[in-house]
Structure 1
């Protein structure tokens, strides 16, 4: 992720409105300026994830594989409890973190970025929290993305608190106008 984007969108096709495909939603998001997506979809078989990643890559997205590898992806995003990958096999990787010490540990392991969650109460994972204190997002050796409960209404505040950028899932996946949400988020997190 060079340079690291200000916005990451995490996928969750289970949150899409009926009749919408993940490919279609993300194609609209690319048109609105999205450059990086974290491909989750843990229930898909490896071959299905690989095809989806290839399609998304062809649309112009840098695809970061969550949890397990996807051929040709731009990197991996690991859960908090997953071991660090071998530097010989994964050039770029990040980690989901739930505290400032978790971020420091991820940086020591070689992570190039981290998400810190939850930033705010979230509909995707209700009851997950409490929200991280604003000070937890600043002063790290790697870019930190505020995740969880992020919207255009609070994205600029996350950046002001010290987050490099924001990572969103439900705000885009559930949106009637996902491209509009991406465009608004990008305006709010612009450097």
Structure 2
């Protein structure tokens, strides 16, 4: 039986793409981490393993200062213990500390076995993958969250606080963002804006009780 890591991804999760980043990838990620990002998924799967491993080392160092976690896309954890796998495989997943899976429909969710979480995409149409879809929209996301055996991160075209709120309302435990952070003039400011939206949407608010006290109430999240 494999050992679980202490946490699963939640909140604002950053996916890397050096080809659309406005600056050197490590600098962009560091800026987003400065804005509150604590989970980063290293993609860059076209790079040779040695270069990708060197990137993983640098990104883990950035995240270490804030107790963050690097997840590596693909079955090779690059000397770490967290991976995010494509829907196509491998099955069963490797025995590591944390394993996620990309899913897009109920059939793919039904194939999950020992994975710790899944992404569902695309929730909205995305500039990063033009023509990729159709978009699930929040209604489709909610239906799939209800069918998922594991916690779900919403992915695809999430660029605004309103979209973050909609994903939380649909039951997502986090939002995975690529373009809005990679292309941002200030990844730190964008991360702060989107992360604050997630925290507000996920935090109970108070409403007056009949006796004059306060009763807890969810903001835009699901009950």
Which residue of structure 2 lines up, in the alignment, with residue 10 of structure 1?
A: 15
Instruction: Report the RMSD for the aligned CA atoms in angstroms.
Output: 1.6
Between structure 1 and structure 2, the one with the greater Rg is 2
Instruction: Report runs of 4+ in structure 1 exceeding 4 Å deviation.
Output: none
Structure 1 residue runs without a partner (length 5+): none
Q: With structure 1 as the length reference, what TM-score do the two structures score?
A: 0.90
Q: Give how far 1:101 is off.
A: 3.1
Residue number among 168, 180, 185 corresponding to 1:176 in the alignment: 185
Q: Please tell me whether residue 78 in structure 1 is matched to residue 85 in structure 2.
A: yes
Contact kept? 2:10, 2:175, Cα under 8 Å: no
How far residue 134 of structure 1 moved from its aligned partner, in angstroms, is: 3.5
Maintained 8 Å contact 1:134/1:158: yes
The count of residues paired between Structure 1 and Structure 2 equals: 185
Provide the C-alpha distance between the structure 2 equivalents of 1:46 and 1:130, rounded to a whole number of angstroms: 33
Pick the aligned partner of 1:160 from 169, 174, 190: 169
Superposed, 1:71-110 pairs within 5 Å as 71-84=78-91, 85-87=93-95, 90-106=96-112, 109-110=113-114
Following the alignment from structure 1 to structure 2, what is the Cα–Cα distance between the partners of residues 145 and 100? 15
Q: Secondary structure at the match of 2:29?
A: helix
**Could you tell me which residue of structure 1 aligns to residue 35 of structure 2?**
32
- Flag structure 2 segments of 5+ consecutive residues without an equivalent: 203-223
TM-aligned CA distance change 1:92 to 1:3, over 3 Å: closer
CA distance in 2, matches of 1:188, 1:48: 35
Give the secondary structure class of the aligned counterpart of 1:138: helix
TM-score (norm 2): 0.78
Structure 2 residue aligned with 1:151: 159
> SS of 2:53's equivalent?
helix
Deviation at 1:184, TM superposition (A): 1.2
